[in-house]
Structure 1
Amino acid sequence: MFGPAPDYLGSSWQARTLFLKDDDGGATRPDVAVLVHEADAKERVSRSGTVALYLPGFQDSFFHTEQAAAWAEYDIPLIGLEFRRSGRALRSEASRDDIRDLRVRNEEISCAIDYTKQNLGATHVILIGHSTGGLQAALWASENPGVVSSVILNSPWLDHNGPEYEKTTLTEANDHLGKVSPRLVISRLNPAYARNLHNAWHFNTAHKRVDNLKVRAGFWRTVRRAQADVAAARVRIYEPLLVAHSDRSGNYEEPSPEDLLTSDCVLNVEDMKRLAPLLSPKAQLLEISGGRHDLALSERPARDFYTRDTIEWAIRRRR
């Protein structure tokens, strides 16, 4: 581990680099991950015994200082984990989000949790995952039962949001294509949502891009395989599970200004409601009226409801 080093989020924020060993074939240089938290994290943990670990989504990054301030009111530091080949941990533009096996990222999740326990003294870890980070959190928790106290999924990417032929025919075709040509760019995300966020929130666009958002064949292949595992109930979470989602899905192809402000214009919220019970029969759903795809970045009062309800839920379930 290297650090701490200053971070652009502010004078109280620090970044630490984790050096990784596992590889799925997508690294152009040795992989790293980056942990970001405030300098007083250990002091807060000494009082609460608890940390919250945040996993960002695809083409995403951690810049959630407002969320961190809300958790800090309970002496719980919010720690952002930048996955390998993304955000602060990107070492080569050519490998941005070139992930061929989502489970390779289990390494940095485990390393981050070990850090919170061994270096910060945490006895309780609340695992929070957004979008692809929500899928990553589910995969990790399924394979590591009993390690964290609870899991919060913020608009998790549990199924592909698109027409049926993309879920069937194209998925089958890409399963072969993604194996033989994993770096091939097969799509680009609509930049409207990322640009809309950048109008409202401050983040480094070298970490979270707002244009040219490439989707590679190998990445979509591993995502669809993981989602198939979810649909077949092969991904099970044994800790208390909260799945939070917006009250409606917007138009993901051509979102209106209202969609961008008050709906999930990236994923289908019905998929989240349908699949959450397969992750855990005791999964609880939290619907946020007017919530964006990243509920923590919603307009007010939606994000205030999300913040209040998720923190209170997690605190009640510490063990």
Structure 2
Amino acid sequence: MTKHDRYQTDILGEDYQQARLNFPDDYEGQVTATLVRKKANTPTQKAVLYIHGFIDYFFQTEMAEQFNQHGFDFYALDLRKYGRSHLPHQQFYNVRELTEYDAEITEALAMIAQEGHDAVLLSGHSTGGLITTLYAAHHPNHALIKALWVNSPFYDFNMHPIKKKLALPSLSRIAKLCPNLKLPSELNKWYVPSLHQSLKGEWDFNLGWKPKSYPWVRLSFIRAIFEAQKEIHHGVSLSIPILVMHSDRSTHPKKWHLDAQSSDIVLDVKHIAHYAQKIQGDVTLCDIKKGLHDLVLSEKSVREQVYRQLFAWLQQKGV
């Protein structure tokens, strides 16, 4: 099969194509991931590879269009067991080590190179921000990756310090024996309702892939995140410039409040900033006033600021 034969029209329409990536079976059986692309109107050797967050998938078409308009071919991965890549025998979002995702990131980058690109901006939102930061740290001087942009990266759990210090190490140990044991997720119930156009937001996405609520989380996911965050907390080193973006504030609405549409209600932005500053290398921090957890889903004037800051930074870094 040639590189061109691998693509077919994506669910987002004719301007988007998707390619199925196949990998060796894991503890649940068959494994696939999905690479989605949207080419710029004029040929370019620059590309972006975007990795979504937890309980998520790629649907942010405005972001893809922004990159196209600025001379980038856009690519996004739906990781294994997420969105387009979920198979009937799989538990959604089930992972035991974040490095399981290295296979699809590496394959996607190889395909991007085969398609004529020599410079890639690696990008990730939330859990995707944690994944991409560690991927960049583990692959220094990668021939293709020239910069990293992370959008509200999941560098620390948003929970009480005592609970974090005492409970997380114990839960991580238990997860080795009981990976599928479930605990309350503690995700703010207003996050997805603040986004979806059928609820209180402006965006259209598949509520089967990014559900309105997700009350339980597997211990395996908690362990995977906890172990990965240890590296961030100790201070990883990057050989490429990184732009770390987050909202200017976090809130915790218990009932519906407009804070849900003007702040991060998932992570603590102070944690993001604190651990971003532990990264060794060329690090730029940028807080976005009234930004949501996924900054590119914020209200129009806010996300316009996100793109202005992002593309100005890329220009400054020569990417």
Superposition TM-score, scaled by structure 2 size: 0.91
Q: Is the 8 A contact 1:85 1:92 kept in 2?
A: no
8 Å Cα contact 2:190/2:256 also seen in 1: no
Report the 3-state secondary structure (helix = DSSP H, G, I; strand = E; otherwise coil) of the residue aligned with 1:57: coil
Partner of 2:184: 187
Alpha-carbon separation, structure 2, partners of 1:108 and 1:225: 20
For 2:294, the equivalent position in structure 1 comes to 294
Q: Tell me if the contact between 1:161 and 1:267 (Cα under 8 Å) persists in the aligned partners.
A: yes
In the alignment, structure 1 residue 157 sits paired with structure 2 residue 141: no
Q: Give the letter aligned to residue 219 of structure 2.
A: A
What is the match of residue 137 of structure 1? 132
State yes or no: 1:11 paired with 2:14: yes
Alignment check: 8 A CA contact 1:85 1:98 kept: yes
How far off its partner does 1:22 sit? Answer: 7.1
- TM-superposed deviation, 1:97: 1.0
Aligned AA (2:95): I
Select between 182-191 and 135-144 the one with higher mean Cα deviation: 182-191
Query: Structure 1 residue 209: deviation in Å?
Result: 1.9
- State the match for 2:195 in structure 1: 197
Aligned to 2:240: 239
Answer whether contact 2:81 2:90 (CA < 8 A) is retained.
no
Deviations along 1:158-186, whole A, 9 cap, x unmatched?
Answer: 00101013211111220122111111111
Match of 2:264 in 1: 264
The answer on 1:97 being equivalent to 2:93 is yes
Counterpart position of 1:61? 57
Structure 1 residues 99 and 11: alpha-carbon distance in aligned structure 2, compared to 1, 3 A threshold: same
Check conservation: 2:196, 2:205, Cα contact below 8 A.
yes
Structure 2 counterpart of 1:218: 220
Question: What CA distance in whole angstroms lies between the structure 1 residues aligned with 2:68 and 2:180?
Answer: 40
The aligned amino acid for 1:194 is V
Whichever residue aligns with residue 145 of structure 1, its letter is: P
Q: Which residue of 1 aligns with 2:273?
A: 273
- Higher helix proportion (structure 1 or 2): 1
Larger mean CA deviation between 159-168 and 57-66 belongs to: 159-168
Query: Structure 2 vs 1, CA of residues 191 and 126 (structure 1 numbering), >3 Å: closer, same or farther?
Result: same
Q: What percent identity do the matched residue pairs reach?
A: 31
- Pick aligned residue for 1:170 from 161, 167, 170: 167
Output the CA distance in 1 between the equivalents of 2:6 and 2:204: 24
Using a 3 Å threshold, how does the CA distance of structure 1 residues 93 and 259 change in structure 2: closer, same or farther? farther
Letter in 2 for 1:20: F
AA aligned to 2:210 is K
Partner amino acid, structure 2, of 1:243: V
Contact 2:154–2:267 (Cα < 8 Å) also in 1: yes
Contact 1:5 1:14 in 2 (8 A): yes
Q: 1:213 to 1:146 in 2, by over 3 A?
A: farther
- The aligned residue for residue 125 of structure 1 is 120
Partners of 1:84 and 1:181 in 2: how far apart? 21
d(CA) in 2 for partners of 1:210 and 1:268?
A: 21
Change (3 A) 1:239 1:35: same
Q: Quote how far apart the aligned CAs of 1:140 are.
A: 0.4
What do you get for the CA RMSD once the two structures are aligned? 1.8
Q: Is the 8 A contact 2:102 2:135 kept in 1?
A: yes
Whether the 8 Å CA contact 2:179–2:220 is kept in 1: the answer is yes
- Compared with structure 1, are the counterparts of its residues 214 and 237 closer, same or farther at alpha carbon in structure 2 (3 Å cutoff)? farther
Tell me the CA shift for residue 211 of structure 1: 2.4
1:150–1:318: 8 Å Cα contact kept in structure 2?
no
Q: 1:255 to 1:289 in 2, by over 3 A?
A: farther
